[in-house]
A and B are shown apart, each in its own frame.
Chain A
Amino acid sequence: MAQSLRQAVSKLLSNHEAEVLAEWQQSLKADGALKGGRVKEAELAAQCTGFLRQLRLGFEAGATDADSVEFAGMREMLADLSRARALQGFSPRETAIFVFSLKQPLFSAFDKHGSGDAAAKLQFNSPVGLLLDRMGLHTMDVFHKAREELIVRQEREIAELSTPVIKLWHGILALPLIGTLDSQRTQVVMENLLESIVAQEAEIAIIDITGVPTVDTLTAQHLLKTVSAARLMGADCIISGIRPQIAQTMVHLGVELTVISKATLADAFALALKRQGRAVTKVGKPEQSGAAS
């Protein structure tokens, strides 16, 4: 039986490859595989040809199991394709249809050119169909893994971007916050700030929330926790950069920030300097280059 299947596939694919290929590509195109220009026609044709060749090689080597060594090449090829499509922003359906849409052309070609009796057809369709299903699932697996990797990478990048602690002056730190504050991020931000307070011996820390889109009760609570923790260590916190709309929303929501707050980072910095007994003064006329100090 395996022998006859091998021969059937080999014969079908060597004699009628062009026909299967054409029909397959047509069905892919009808499904919109080329839409949006993310994949060129030539690229798609190369992928289809490559896949059919792998399929033939696999069956000619006598394998029918999708996990076998003979189909390693095919799995690898699908993995590359799937990963590339995941990063290009294809939907899962668009990716999986690549494999599943081969079934119909293959079966109809066998119908036309095969021996024609029902037993032979079943013998052909069932293992080939099974293999393609497996390959389709494999494609989905890789697709999801690729997306997850992408998400993890982005998360890491965001985390790196989100917690810079800047030294403004001796003993004055600034922490510009950007983006929504959730519990996990606040934890990282808080730890970073406190570590920096110790490392820089800072007495004043300015938390600037210009880049925080909304402040709700939870965010306010997180901020207050950070401020309390800094106070316990002996550093004062000033919150700056509360935008007018946010200030209104906070009042309407009944959110109370019982800390010193200033409208802008500049105001907060001025206050911080004043606390240290320092001030910024004008010492002369601005220089010609415009680089006034």
Chain B
Amino acid sequence: MQRIPILKLGETLLVTIQVDMDDQIANALEEDLAAEVVRAGARGVVIDISALEIVDSFIGRMLDTIAAVARLLDADTVVVGMRPAVAITLVELGVSLDGVGTALDVDRGMALIRRHTERSDADDGD
């Protein structure tokens, strides 16, 4: 079965979705990511969906679930590079991705994670 590769960059995991997502791939990604966050001790997950042209409510929910799982494992999730058409579709579907950070591109996404991490570290230090 096709699996989506998960790259580790420092304390952040980078997932680039370049295939059409079906439910099976989505489920596999959810599992792999949860395992990888723990294994690598990651503080953040960046999901790049700039290549994704079609979404449905399942993908929207998947992103929500991944974020919720990652948060339990002490990692922030940022979705980057969403296309306008995809954004409109998700809004029309009522998916707001409340628990997920968003950024324009991978660069900004990484910066966002870094800021979050620093802030939470500072909070812990108090």
Residues on A facing B (Cβ under 8 Å):
190-191, 194-195, 197-198, 201-203, 225, 228-235
Contacts and interface: CB of A to CB of B under 8 A. Distances in A.
Given A225-B91, A228-B91, A228-B96, A233 B105 contact: no
Nearest to A195: B84
Given A191-B88, A194-B88, A197-B84, A232 B102 contact: yes
B92 to A, nearest CB: 8
A234 B96 contact: no
Interface string B74-114: 00000111111011101110001100001111001100000
Contacts of B84: 191, 194-195, 197-198, 229, 233
Interface in B4-63: none
Contact of A233 (B87, B92, B96): B87
B82 A232 contact: yes
A150 B20 CA distance: 45
A229 B90 contact: yes
Given A232-B82, A232-B102, A194 B108 contact: no
Nearest to A232: B87
A234 B79 CA distance: 8
Given A194-B84, A195-B84, A235 B104 contact: yes
Given A233-B104, A234-B79, 19 more contacts: A194-B88, A195-B84, A198-B84, A198-B104, A202-B104, A203-B104, A225-B91, A228-B91, A228-B96, A229-B87, A229-B90, A229-B91, A232-B86, A233-B82, A233-B83, A233-B84, A234-B80, A234-B82, A234-B105
Interface of B: 79-84, 86-88, 90-92, 96-97, 102-105, 108-109
A225 B93 CA distance: 11
B108 A232 contact: no
Interface SS, A side? helix
A238 to B, nearest CB: 16
Contacts of A232: 79, 82, 86-87, 90-91, 96-97, 102
A239 to B, nearest CB: 16
Residue of B79, B88, B90 with highest tally of chain A CB at under 10 A: B88
Given A232-B82, A234-B82, A197 B88 contact: no
B88 A231 contact: no
A233 B91 contact: no
Given A191-B84, A233-B82, A197 B104 contact: yes
Contacts of B96: 228, 231-232
Among B79, B81, B87, B88, residue most surrounded by chain A Cβ atoms (within 10 Å):
B87
30 contacts: A190-B88, A191-B84, A194-B84, A195-B84, A197-B84, A198-B84, A198-B104, A201-B104, A202-B104, A225-B91, A225-B92, A228-B91, A229-B88, A229-B91, A231-B96, A232-B86, A232-B90, A232-B91, A232-B97, A233-B83, A233-B84, A233-B87, A233-B102, A233-B104, A234-B82, A234-B102, A234-B103, A234-B104, A234-B109, A235-B104
Contacts of B90: 229, 232
A162 B80 CA distance: 29
A26 to B, nearest CB: 63
Contacts of A198: 83-84, 104
A196 B81 CA distance: 14
A188 to B, nearest CB: 11
A208 B105 CA distance: 26
